[in-house]
Amino acid sequence: MKKFILAASVLMAVYSCKKEAQKPTENGTEVSSETPKSNNKIVSISGGITEIVAALGHESEIVATDVTSTYPESLKATAENLGHVRSMTIEPIMAVNPTLILASDKDINPDLLGKIKASGIKTELFKQEFTVDGTKKLIADVAKAIGNTDYQKLNDKIDADLKQIQPIAKKPKVLFIYARGNMMMVSGKNTPMAALINLAGGENAINDFEDFKPLTPEAVVKANPDVLFFFSTGLQGSGGNEGALKMPGVSQTNAGKNKRIIAMDGGLVSSFGPRLGEAAVSLNKLLVESTK
């Protein structure tokens, strides 16, 4: 009888371990307990990189992030927020005693980068390209840096998601407006937003300059977008749809006349990480609906 009870206990323990080996994450994917673990204390200075580390099952190793690292939300309770990479200083980074610093080559200020290199802490600086192939390469490079080879499933999911994009007969001209407080900027070519708009079946409304520039009535009227696109927080902070329609020049555009305004979570659409396919599909659906 004792042998039977012992055997049953062993079986229950094995079953329990197997159950714990698959841990659901917030985005519905499963992370295996067999994911290679390390003793790393990671500082991730990029929203996309942070998402990759977490999606690979190493979220518990992240001790600090930048302000763009908004996903997974559980990091808010476990990782230090170091602020924006452009204004970040070395002292808060050193305070968390990291063993590995992961950063994008975008936006990091030279002074901070120099001090990070001088600190002697192992640092990986990744080139980030806002394309599907660039995102896949970033995923592979980050995985290698943290000692994980099981990354192909993330790239496969991007491909699977992108197959859901519906073609749009007449591509809508989409103007992305970054609104934060009194600051309003519009997105030109060679920006993450322009890349996502094109990927989702739209056309970026402004292509005569690169990066972001302050919103002006002249630029908005000249672009004459069919759709205005915001981060959800930006649209809310601007007074919602009514506030957006009152922005300089908007009333003279097709978007303003037809009240075509869409908004999405900023972290989702700008990170160009494992959720790139989800972001493109979500934007595509909004564009299809707005042009009906």
Instruction: Give the pairing type, strands 122-126 and 100-104.
Output: parallel
Domain ranges within the chain, ordered by starting residue: 23-158, 173-290
**CA gap 162, 278 in Å, rounded:** 8
Residue identified by tokens 């690292």 is: 69
Q: Which residue has better confidence, 200 or 27? A: 200
Q: Which residue has better confidence, 109 or 156? A: 156
Q: CATH code for 23-158?
A: 3.40.50.1980
Task: List CB contacts of 152: < 8 A, sequence separation 6 or more.
Answer: none
- Interval 220-225 mean pLDDT: 96
Decide whether 23-158 matches 173-290 in CATH topology.
yes
pLDDT confidence of residue 38: 65
pLDDT confidence of residue 22: 41
Please say whether the beta carbons of 288 and 169 come within 8 A. no
pLDDT confidence of residue 37: 58
Q: How many CB atoms lie within 10 A of CB 244?
A: 21
* Mean pLDDT, the chain, integer: 88
- Interval 104-133 mean pLDDT: 93
pLDDT surpasses 80 at 121: yes
pLDDT surpasses 70 at 129: yes
pLDDT confidence of residue 158: 98
pLDDT confidence of residue 109: 87
Class for the domain spanning 173-290:
alpha beta
Of 19-23, 33-37, 132-136, 224-228, the range with the lowest mean pLDDT is: 19-23
